[in-house]
Each structure stands twice: as C-alpha cells, then as structure tokens.
Amino acid sequence: MTNINESKIINLKNKIKEALTPLIDSDYALLDVPDHENIGDNLIWEGELHFLNEISFKNKYEASIFFFEQKKIPKDAIIIFHGGGNFGDIYKKTNQERLKIIAENHDKKIIIFPQTIFYQNNKNLIEDAKIINAHPNLTLCVRDHTSLKIAEEHFLNITTLLLPDMAFCLDLSIFKSSEKANKTLFMKRRDSELNERTPQITGDYDSLDWPTFNMPKEEKWKIIGRQRKLDKIAMFIQKIPVLRLLVDNRYGIKSRKGKEKYIETGVEFFNQYETIYTTRLHGLILGVLMGKDMKVLDNSYGKLSDFYEAWLKDFDKVELIDY
C-alpha cells in the first residue's frame, strides 16, 4: 500500500542529509542511545543509524548514558548525541550526564541530533547555557521553532540548526502493509507530559499507550526497578576487567532485548488501526510513516503542535485538534 505522504517524508529525510552529512567529517561516537522501552526513542535511534550508515565515516563507539566510558571514545572522533525530547529539566539525569560529557570534551566536535528543548525553571536554563556556550565546537539541532527560539536566545556561542526528527530517516519499506485496518486508537500517554486538558473522543475506540507502557503504574515501576537493579550490577561488572565483556555499552546486560524488538512491537500495534488520535510525538511520526489517518493532540508543553507546525501541516491525513 503506497503512503500518500511518501514524497513529503523523503523530502524531510533529504533536509536532514543535506544539513548533517557535511558536518560529520570523521569517525564518530553515538551517545545517549536509549536503554529503555520507549518505542519512540527506539524509532529515533534506528533512524539515526540508517542515516549514519549512508555516510563515509564509521561508528566507533555507541553507548547509553548509564554505560558510557570516556576512554573508549577515539581521540579524533566526533561525539554525536541521540536526539529526542530530553533536553531541559524534565529528564534531569539524562540532561546532566549529557552536559557533563560536553564539559569534559572541549577537544572534540559535538553534534546533538534534533531535540525538543523545554525548561520548567529558567534558572536551570541559564545554568545549562553556561556549559553549552563554553564548548568551542558544538552544533545543536532542534526540531521545532519554539526550541529554535530558546536556543538562539540562550546558546549564543554554538551553531543551531532546525531539522526534522531523525525517525524520518527510517526505511519506509518496513512500514508498508497490505492489511486494511478499520479500528480507531486513542493513544493517551500516562506520564507527566499528558495535557490535563486533553479531550475525550467520541465513538468506538481503544484507549492505549505504547504496548510497552500499557500496564498499571505499580507493575510498570516494578519492571523499571528490576531493570535498574540489573543496570547497577552491570555498572559494577563493567569495572572488573575479567567480567566487563558481559556488559553491552548500549544496554548493560547483554541478554536485554534491543530496539529491533521494540520497533516491531510498535509497528504490529499500529497495524490494527486506521485512525489514530495521539498525545505522543512518535505515535504521530510512526503513524505518518505507516500512512495512518492521524489526529494530533498536544502534550503538556506544546511539543506535538510545535512539531506539526514546523514539518507536518502540509501533510495529507494529519490534523491538529485544537482545544
């Protein structure tokens, strides 16, 4: 089944390639890759790898924030940070670790793949800007005009680029399906980014989050707790020369399921539906890649509407719901 927006998706991919390919002029290390079950982040990661596999230089090191080791980055490598929506003070641990790496690597070119920037506290933004602006060769890519405005007002000593999300670099052929679905999904996130004003929709529909998140909070936090215990064990093992081969710099314990499984799960989930109301940005992006009829419901701070206005407002079968 042909995606009605295929040429527009390819155009977004080409914007990324034209802007970033000239910047990556040596081998690189890809950092902050997701070691978690958020299908959206895994879509971004896979898109990043598709893009990077098309350029001339090699991926010399790949690590999550938890299992990053400075000594493993080759001397002349570029540091590339995974894109997404964790730049700011909502996801403090990730942002602090990224800033620490930036501060300790002034001798290396750094590129941050497309991010949404959001700060709840302006004091945190001002403090973070000091670290960002101190780096002599940093390019920050943002994926909406609100983030661009923040970057241009506060990060004065770096290069800022407005680019689409890296998930648009994915191979479209993996999303094509001959199946005709007719169900409706209300993809309602269950975390702090849910907009309290999100309306209910009418008619028959399934109200679900990503399959990896569709569980009671208590069960979800038990799973997260178990994984964090494994992470702590892996971080300890990583320091022991004889045992460190048991640790994967991306996931920790090597037996952990990877991004391919999460992406497959997300695609199979969306294959059941023709119309999708989404409060998740990568629910929107995956739906666009799969040619679904998408209805956009904003998150708590405008991430989806800002992205829609920047890249998707001329797409067919994509509608922003105002409320």
pLDDT tens, position by position, 188-212: 998 888 888 888 888 899 999 999 8
pLDDT at 179 over 70: no
Rounded-to-integer distance, Cα 10 and Cα 13, Å: 5
Rounded-to-integer distance, Cα 142 and Cα 202, Å: 35
- What percentage of the chain reaches a pLDDT higher than 90? 71
Q: What is the pLDDT of residue 182?
A: 85
CA 167 to chain centre: 8
Q: What is the pLDDT of residue 65?
A: 85
CA-closest candidate to residue 319, choices 278, 290, 270: 278
Q: Which fold has domain 6-169?
A: Rossmann fold (3.40.50)
| Alpha-carbon distances of 247 from 26, 28, 31, 106, rounded to whole Å | 27, 21, 16, 28
pLDDT per residue over 113-169, tens digit each?
999 999 999 999 999 999 999 999 999 999 999 999 999 999 999 999 999 999 999
Q: What is the pLDDT of residue 175?
A: 80
Query: Strand ranges (DSSP E) for 144-210?
Result: 159-162, 183-187, 206-208
The angle that helices 39-52 and 281-289 make with each other, rounded to 10 degrees, is: 50
Residue 286 near residue 172 (C-beta atoms within 8 A)? no
Window from 148-152, 194-198, 233-237, 295-299 with minimum mean pLDDT:
233-237
Q: What is the pLDDT of residue 256?
A: 53
* Tokens encoding 215: 């569980």
Q: What is the pLDDT of residue 241?
A: 73
Average pLDDT estimate for 81-110: 95
Specify the pairing of strand 183-187 against strand 28-31: unpaired
Structure-derived torsion over alpha carbons of residues 123, 126, 128, 134, reported in degrees to the nearest 10: -160
pLDDT band of 233, cuts 50, 70, 90: low
Average pLDDT estimate for 227-245: 68
Where are the domains positioned within the chain? 6-169
Rounded-to-integer distance, Cα 165 and Cα 3, Å: 19
CA-closest candidate to residue 274, choices 165, 177, 167: 177
The amino acid that residue 297 corresponds to is: L
pLDDT per residue over 34-54, tens digit each?
977 899 999 999 999 999 999
Rounded-to-integer distance, Cα 13 and Cα 192, Å: 30
Rounded-to-integer distance, Cα 49 and Cα 33, Å: 11
Q: What is the pLDDT of residue 53?
A: 96
* Global pTM exceeds 0.85: yes
Q: What is the pLDDT of residue 221?
A: 64
